[in-house]
Amino acid sequence: MSDAAATMIANLEAKTGRSLAEWVALARTSGAEKHGALVKWLKAEQALTHGYANLVAHETLRSAAAHAEADDLVAAQYAGKKAALRPHYDALIAAVRGFGPDIEIAPKKAYVSLRRSKQFALIQPSTASRMDLGLVLKGEEAGGMIEPSGSFNAMCTHRIRLPVDTPIPDEALAALKRAYDAA
C-alpha cells in the first residue's frame, strides 16, 4: 500500500468517524454493483468527497471479487466425491469465527489457511472420507488424536484426521482454539 493510500485511509476514519471496513460494509448495502454507481451513491447519500468515495468503491469491489474467488476455491475443494466433507468444513469455520474478529480465512487450491497475525491452522479435504486439520502447536506433545504433522504440511506441527462419518470431536476444536490463542 502506498503512503498516500495509507494516509487517506487514516484520514477517512478521522474525518468521517467510520473506518474503511465500516464504509465497505455500508457500501455493500447500497445495491450498486459498478464502480461509478457506487461512487455516485457514496457522494449523494453519504456525503463523501469524490476521493473518499472512489477509495471506498475500489475497496468494496476488490473485496467482493476476492470473496467470490475464495468461495469458488472452497466450492471446488468440496465438489464431487468430497462433497460429504463440506459440513465438517462449515462447522470448523463457524467454530473459528467464534474465536475472535481477527481471523483471516484464506482459501488456496487444495486447502484453506487460517490466520491471525500468522497462520495457525489449515483445513484440507484429503480424501473422499477424511479431512485433515493441520495445526501450529509449537512445543506441544502429540497424543490422542493429535499426531505430528510429518510430511502432511511443513507449515504445521500437528495434524488431526477427521473422518466424514463422525462429528468433529471436542478435542479437535480445543486444539484448534489453542493454535489460535498461540498465533
Write out pLDDT tens, residues 90-118.
Answer: 999 999 999 988 888 888 889 999 998 89
The answer to whether residue 122 sits within a structural domain is yes
The pLDDT assigned to 24 comes to 84
pLDDT tens, residue by residue, 143-161: 999 999 988 888 899 999 9
Of 50, 71, 92, the last residue of a domain is 71
Name the average pLDDT for the chain: 89
pLDDT at 1 > cutoff 60: no
- Whether 96 maps to a domain, the answer reads yes
What was the pLDDT predicted at 5? 74
- Cβ neighbour number for residue 156 with a 10 Å cutoff: 22
Indicate the pLDDT class of residue 66, thresholds 50, 70 and 90: low
Q: Does a structural domain hold residue 76? A: no
Residue 64: per-residue pLDDT: 63
| Amino acid (1-letter code) at residue 126 | S
Q: Are residues 121 and 148 in the same domain?
A: yes
Q: Range of 150's domain?
A: 81-182
CA distance linking residue 25 with residue 30, whole number of Å: 9
Same domain for 108 and 38: no
Find out whether 171 and 147 touch, Cβ atoms under 8 Å: no
What is the pLDDT, as a whole number, of residue 32?
Answer: 86
Q: Any idea which of 1-15, 105-119, 157-171 has the lowest mean pLDDT? A: 1-15
Task: Report yes or no: 35 and 57 within 8 Å, Cβ to Cβ.
Answer: yes
What is residue 6's predicted lDDT score, i.e. its pLDDT?
80
Give the mean pLDDT of 164-171.
93
Q: Of 39, 71, 103, which marks where a domain is finished?
A: 71
- Number of separate domains in the chain: 2
